[in-house]
Structure 1
Amino acid sequence: MNWVLIALLSNGIMCLAHSEEQEAKSGRVNMGLYTKSITEQASISDIEISMNFWVKDALAFEARKAGIEIQSTGAFLYESMQDMRADFDHGKLDIIVAPPLLISRYFKRDEITDGFSGMLEGRKPDNLLLIVRTESNIQSIRDLRGERIAMLEGDELAEMYMDTLFLRTFKQGYKNMVASIQQQTKANRIVLDLYFNKADAGLVYVNSYQVMSELNPDIKNKVKILDTFEVRSKNYSYIRKGYPLANEMRQIALSFYKSARGKQILDIYKTPELDFLKVDELDTVDQLDREHARLMAGKN
């Protein structure tokens, strides 16, 4: 009877060990980042250092607390969405980071799953704002005709939004109806251009407008918000469908701000917090994209 008991106990211990082995998770974390939409917040060198060294350490530390062993991490920077798409197709990427409009255009909904996005303090969205000079007496989109427009260079969502506003009102795109279009590499420059009467209207995100207003409270007297496009943030992060560590990565991202290293990384990108992001959040930019296409077709 003793050998039977020993055999049963041994078998139980082996099964338990096997079960624990199965429960333990390990894997890689490869992120692809579209740099043109990130370099306003950080330089390429800052992005490379923070992603390849700091994020690697922070991820490994947070993952170990969750019982996960990160075997390798990689941060790949892309100036072309076509290149990101190609690497995604070849299985190189687990997480993609890019503007929502570009993700919507280059990735199918059944290829990605819920992820996370940067949010303002209190998990408030970083909406896109159409701001105008208060003294210019611009009260509506119709009043923007013949005015000076400042925009962020390479921001396709902002450009489409501005174009849609003009198409709704004039049945013409904005480029042929304004006095000038000023492309800026920094959103704070747009706010200052309006403040110092170098532009009449501009598109910026809430965070940039708030930061500049805090530095100079008089900005809110000279610059006002005319219209808003609701979007969670300038960049969205989604996870490849079928990625085995998807749930764990979401949990780690949402608690990232709680660690000292996590806060340090988020500060670089001027992102106080990260929040859960559903794939359905792309619906807003999809609707704008479809409306813009419909209005463009209707003007001919």
Structure 2
Amino acid sequence: MGFYIKSITEQASISDIEISLNFWVKDALAVEAEKAGLYISSTGAFLYESMREMRDDYDKGKLDIIVAPPLLISRYFKRDEITDGFSGMLEGRQPDNLLLVVRSDKNINAIEDLRGKRIAMLEGDELSDIYLDTLFLRSFNKSYKKLNPSIQQQAKATRIVLDLYFDKADVGLVYFNSYQVMTELNPDVKNKIKILDSFEVRSKNYSYINKSYPLADEIRRIALSFYKSPRGKQILDIYKTPELDFLKVEELDLVDSLDREHARLLMHAIK
């Protein structure tokens, strides 16, 4: 299994990630596979800071499963190279949609009201970047970077919610799970912050299986039942992912569409 490290460090430290992922792949997954009558002789969990490196190892046959943000998978992998996989889901199999949240007292009721506002977003999250940029290009025919000089990059989504709550930012991009956690910890968050827009996405990361892997169906079934075991639940709790669900390759179509629209709007934007 290959994991894009930059998209999972928000949930846990590098050391916790390395321990849990290697335990997942080398121990827990093997145990669950054995229950299904499948004996795995060799396993490994590999962490990547570069999608290009992940792509290279995929081409070399080193990886059977990839885990990365849907936008990056869409850009680096062709549809006929991967097959259906699985994704983490929130309680009740709710999607972890990307949210555009704003301060309730700033009179922000439409995208047109975002001009000149202080924006906080996740560091290195490309989906947040092109989603916000697409919204600005639709409304202003200009990139948000040209109209909003005050951009704050944060490593944690919870920090973004706090920045809005304490009036250190006017606009933020966060995933639903992080927003929900903060509202549960402090219900007053909902009084000061509102959701202005959202982009539909299953989770921050998608998992797909190598199309050439001969036991793709078996591995997918094992992965989908993984959260039912005590060991599986412990590992998934680290990543704030209580459930796993079946994920079609076609789920990438939404980010494809956004990426294409963004490229088209950017090409015609006012310089």
TM-score interval (norm. to shorter): over 0.9
8 Å contact kept, 1:101–1:286: yes
Task: Find the partner of 2:87 among 104, 117, 132.
Answer: 117
* Structure with greater Cα Rg: 1
Paired residue for 2:28?
Answer: 58
8 Å CA contact 1:55, 1:265 repeated in 2:
no
Bigger drift between 191-200 and 175-184 goes to 175-184
Distance 1:246 1:45 in 2: 29
Q: Partners of 1:181 and 1:120 in 2: how far apart? A: 29
> Within the alignment, does 1:168 sit opposite 2:130 as a pair?
no
Aligned residues: 270
1:241 matches 2:211? yes
Q: Which amino acid aligns with 2:257?
A: Q
Deviation string for 1:19-39 (max 9, x for gaps)? xxxxxxxxxxxx000000010
Q: Residue 286 of structure 1 aligns with which residue?
A: 256
Aligned to 1:269: 239
Sequence identity (%): 79
**Aligned partner of 2:113 among 136, 143, 146:** 143
User: Which secondary structure does the structure 1 equivalent of 2:45 belong to?
Assistant: strand
Alignment correspondent of 1:228: 198
Q: 1:91 aligns with which of 52, 55, 61?
A: 61
Moved over 6 A (4+): none
Paired with 2:28 and 2:215, the residues of 1 have a C-alpha distance of: 16
> 1:153-193 CA distances to partner (integer Å, 9 max, x unpaired)?
00000000000000000000001111400000000000000
1:25 aligns with: none
Unaligned stretches of 5+ residues in structure 2: none
Deviations 1:111-147 (A, max 9, x none): 0000000000011100000000001110001100010
Higher RCO, 1 or 2 (CA under 8 Å, sep at least 6)? 2
In structure 2, which of residues 121, 126, 151 is the aligned counterpart of residue 181 of structure 1? 151
Mapping for residues 5-44 of structure 1, pairs under 5 Å:
31-44=1-14
Q: 1:57-87, CA deviations, whole angstroms, 9 ceiling, x for partnerless residues?
A: 1111111110000101100000000000000
1:202 aligns with 2:172: yes
Distance 1:126 1:249 in 2: 24
- How far the C-alpha of 1:250 sits from its partner, in A, is 1.0
Unpaired runs of 5+ in structure 1? 1-30
